[in-house]
Amino acid sequence: MSVLRFFPHPKMAWLTRRFRVGRHRIQLGKLVFCAAAVVMFPVSLAAQAPQESAEQVAGGTVEHPQPYEHGVDSQLNSSVPQGTVSQHVWTDSKVFAGTKRRYSVYVPAQYDGKAPAALMVFQDGHAFEGNTGEFRVPIVFDNLIAKGDMPVTIAVMIDPGHTGELPEKRGWRPRPANRSVEYDSMNGDYAEFLLTEILPALEKDYRITKNPELRAICGNSSGGICAFSVAWHRPDQFHKVLSHIGSFTNIRGGHDYQALIRKTPKKPLRVFLQDGANDLDNSHGNWPLANQQMAKSLQFAKYDYKFVYGTGGHSGNHGGAIFPDSLRWLWRGWKEGTL
């Protein structure tokens, strides 16, 4: 029942606003107030209204979360060896016929071709490739490789497919028409695309390890569930998954993973999940709840996993701020061979 119904006169509508907390109005239940009585007490009732926090609201809603700050490992350090980023175009896909896309390749300064490099694949590659923004793969990789916190790793950062002409610049607009088909689908098509098209092209120029313990895949939102799907379908190729604000909801059946993880024999995966209390809640599902359920399923099935839950929304801010630590956790044990 709306509070406004007690005050039909438009001049009384301000009382409705006084009863708001966050996005929710205080419900008066079945109590009946005469107009005079209500007019006497609006200030005292509003003063008693509890302020909602992430812990108090179902789903953990916080109206105005503070932005997360990036640490030193996300800052350019001219004293460490710096890798290079090259740009590429893929126009001849067999798996996703009729699509075109751009991708970039980061090669660390320490790579000399004498030994195979570790591999990390990123969906929505334009969000990762730069030295600005939330993730800053070249900077973070430079810093962590120099510290020995991760192996010498080549990164391939791939955009989703466009069905028309490629835009002049990489980015979120215009939205790639094939993104949901590639990322949200539960089948193994995207894994096949990587393994039969992009990675063979990469291996023409670089030595890449075949050891799945040294191969990771990462993404945000639909790119996050895509990363999980690739490793789920091809654990012989990828053992490490990093998902930020992953879309484990019913866009194309992704909510089924919660049950599949519990009922399928355990796969040799290490999984890092990040989400926030202000993530999406729409017709596809509730992102915070879906990620919490994923974490619980991974816990139940005794996976090597970590779940970081904050107050952020559907953006890369929190995931980007913790990106260096996420990578340290994901690659821990690489020196000792205990990945």
- The closest of 124, 189, 188, 186 to 157, measured between CA atoms, is 124
CATH of the domain at 167: 3.40.50.1820
Smallest CA-to-CA distance from 94 within 226, 185, 204, 194 is with 194
Q: What is the pLDDT of residues 103-130, one digit of tens each?
A: 999 999 999 999 999 999 999 999 999 9
Task: Please check whether residue 316 lies inside any domain of the structure.
Answer: yes
Q: What is the mean pLDDT of residues 214-225?
A: 99
pLDDT in tens, 164-219: 999 999 999 999 999 999 999 999 999 999 999 999 999 999 999 999 999 999 99
pLDDT of residue 40: 36
Residue 202: inside a domain: yes
Please tell me the distance from the alpha carbon of residue 275 to that of residue 294, in angstroms, as a whole number: 11
pLDDT of residue 213: 98
**Taking all residues of the chain, what is their mean pLDDT, rounded to a whole number?**
86
Q: How many CA atoms lie within 13 A of 71 on its CB side?
A: 12
User: Which residues in 40-71 are b (16+ Cβ under 10 Å) and which e?
Assistant: eeeeeeeeeeeebebeebeebbbeebeebebe
Tell whether 235 is covered by a domain: yes
Q: Are 19 and 89 found together in one domain?
A: no
> What pLDDT was estimated at residue 65?
75
- pLDDT of residue 6 exceeding 60, the answer is no
pLDDT in tens, 247-294: 999 999 999 999 999 999 999 999 999 999 999 999 999 999 999 999
pLDDT at 29 over 90: no
pLDDT at 58: 33
- Six-digit token string for 235: 């654990």
**34 and 106 housed in the same domain:** no
Position 13 pLDDT exceeds 50: no
Residue 54 pLDDT greater than 90, yes or no: no
Q: How far apart are CA 118 and CA 130, in angstroms?
A: 20
**Lowest model confidence (mean pLDDT) among 58-62, 101-105, 122-126, 159-163:** 58-62
Q: Are residues 7 and 91 in the same domain?
A: no
pLDDT tops 90 at residue 14: no
Q: Is residue 58 part of a domain?
A: no
125 and 256 assigned to the same domain? yes
Instruction: State the pLDDT at residue 64.
Output: 56
Which pLDDT value is given to residue 199? 99
pLDDT confidence bin for 69, thresholds 50/70/90: very high
Please, which residues bridge with residue 106 across strands? Answer: 85, 155
How far apart are alpha carbons 151 and 207 in whole angstroms? Answer: 14
Q: Are residues 25 and 129 in the same domain?
A: no
Between CA 11 and CA 179 the distance in angstroms is 49
226 within domain boundaries: yes
What integer pLDDT is reported at residue 185 of this predicted model?
98
Note whether residue 78 is domain-resident: yes
pLDDT in tens, 235-255: 999 999 999 999 999 999 999
| pTM over 0.75, yes/no | yes
Residue 56 counted as domain residue: no
Same domain, 326 and 181: yes
Is beta strand 20-21 parallel, antiparallel or unpaired with respect to 101-107?
Answer: unpaired
Interacting residues of 161 by C-beta distance below 8 A, sequence separation 6+: 93, 96, 99, 100, 101, 176, 177, 178, 179, 182
Residue 66: the pLDDT is 86
pLDDT band with cut points at 50, 70 and 90 for residue 49:
very low
Burial of 220 (0-12, 13-18, 19+ CB in 10 A): buried
Domain limits for position 250: 72-331
In the chain, what percentage of residues exceed pLDDT 90? 79
Nearest-angstrom CA–CA distance, 36 and 204: 81
Coil, strand or helix at 206: coil
Distance CA(38)–CA(18), nearest Å, equals: 12
257 and 302 assigned to the same domain = yes
Peptide bond into 174 cis (omega under 30): yes
Mean pLDDT value of segment 95-99: 98
Are residues 177 and 315 located together in one domain of the fold?
yes
Number of domains in the chain: 2
Query: In the numeric block, which tokens belong to residue 83?
Result: 């890798």
pLDDT for residue 142: 99
166/297 same-domain check? yes
| Tokens at 166, concatenated | 């490629």
- Residues 90, 190, single domain; the answer is yes
Select from 150, 184, 173 the least CA-distant residue to 323: 150
Distance CA 133, CA 70 (A): 10
Helices (runs of H) and strands (runs of E) counted in the chain: 12, 12
Q: Is residue 62 part of a domain?
A: no
Q: Are residues 16 and 102 in the same domain?
A: no
Q: How confident is the model at residue 56 (pLDDT cuts 50, 70, 90)?
A: very low
In this structure, are 104 and 245 located in the same domain?
yes
